[in-house]
């Protein structure tokens, strides 16, 4: 396996490296969250071992960015001393695939990594979002409507994906801002501009509207034959 170890504890990283490399695995290392995220995005790994307490960017933020911003599905095993149920739920909510508490057995760690790789190697259905004739393939970042390719910038794609995932309900403006920008919302009315871009791309060239404003509440995507 090709494994990325993101942990600022050099003793733990050295022990992992010595054990796993002796078992024939190839390893890369990062001691902070920013470097770890960069390596995880630009390289293809079979699995990632991720500590939570990291300088620069903690493991939960890193995992969310890996899943939601970079759209990478590389299996992640969180390796941490945090052992409460709430900690584990936070880890899985951020996108982790497995959670191992320190101290740990090196043999158990390898077994869990191998299991994650086997699951990832199984054929999987494409992560395809659909609303009417609008399709967004999250694996390829391909957006089409009625077979026509649509190009959108990254942040606008994220908003579209959020609306498509929640097409069964109204998504409030506050929820969109929180999901896309977190605790650092833009000063200008950026959301309105992104919604305008989505409408121009997925509605304006087509006879049937998909993007709907629910006044005073937010937005909802659904296939409507009403003008």
- For position 122, what pLDDT does the model report? 60
Tokens of 3: 């494994």
CATH C-level class of 128-224: mainly alpha
Measured between alpha carbons, how far is 158 from 78 in angstroms, rounded to an integer?
Answer: 25
- For position 183, what pLDDT does the model report? 74
Q: Is the pLDDT of residue 194 over 60?
A: yes
- For position 23, what pLDDT does the model report? 92
- For position 70, what pLDDT does the model report? 87
Measured between alpha carbons, how far is 125 from 92 in angstroms, rounded to an integer?
Answer: 21
Q: Report how far apart, in Å, the C-alpha atoms of 51 and of each of 60, 102, 197 are.
A: 9, 10, 38
122-126, 157-161, 189-193: the lowest-pLDDT one: 122-126
Q: Per-domain residue ranges for the chain?
A: 2-121, 128-224
* Helix intervals (H) in 68-225: 85-94, 106-121, 154-165, 173-181, 190-202
2-121 folds as Rossmann fold (3.40.50)
224/106: higher pLDDT: 106
Within 10 A of 122 (CB to CB), how many other CB atoms are there? 6
- For position 227, what pLDDT does the model report? 44
C-alpha closest to that of 48 among 83, 15, 23, 73: 73
- Whole-model pTM over 0.75: no
């Amino acid at each position: 396996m090709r494994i990325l170890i993101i942990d600022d504890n050099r003793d733990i990283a050295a022990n992992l490296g010595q054990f796993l490399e002796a078992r024939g695995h190839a390893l890369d290392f990062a001691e902070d969250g920013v470097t770890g995220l960069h390596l995880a995005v630009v390289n293809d790994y079979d699995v990632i071992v991720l500590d939570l307490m990291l300088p620069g960017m903690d493991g939960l933020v890193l995992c969310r960015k890996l899943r939601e911003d970079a759209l990478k599905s590389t299996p992640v095993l969180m390796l941490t001393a945090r052992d409460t149920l709430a900690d584990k739920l936070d880890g899985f909510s951020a996108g982790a695939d497995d959670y191992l508490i320190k101290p740990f057995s090196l043999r158990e760690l390898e077994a869990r990594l191998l299991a994650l790789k086997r699951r990832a190697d199984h054929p999987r259905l494409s992560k395809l979002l659909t609303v009417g004739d609008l399709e967004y393939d999250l694996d390829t970042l391909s957006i089409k409507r009625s077979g026509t390719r649509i190009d959108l910038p990254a942040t606008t794609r994220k908003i579209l994906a959020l609306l498509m995932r929640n097409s069964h309900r109204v998504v409030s403006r506050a929820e969109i801002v929180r999901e896309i920008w977190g605790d650092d919302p833009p000063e200008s009315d950026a959301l309105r501009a992104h919604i305008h871009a989505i409408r121009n791309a997925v509605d304006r060239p087509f006879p049937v509207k998909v993007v709907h404003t629910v006044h005073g509440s937010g937005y909802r995507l659904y296939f409507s034959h009403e003008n």
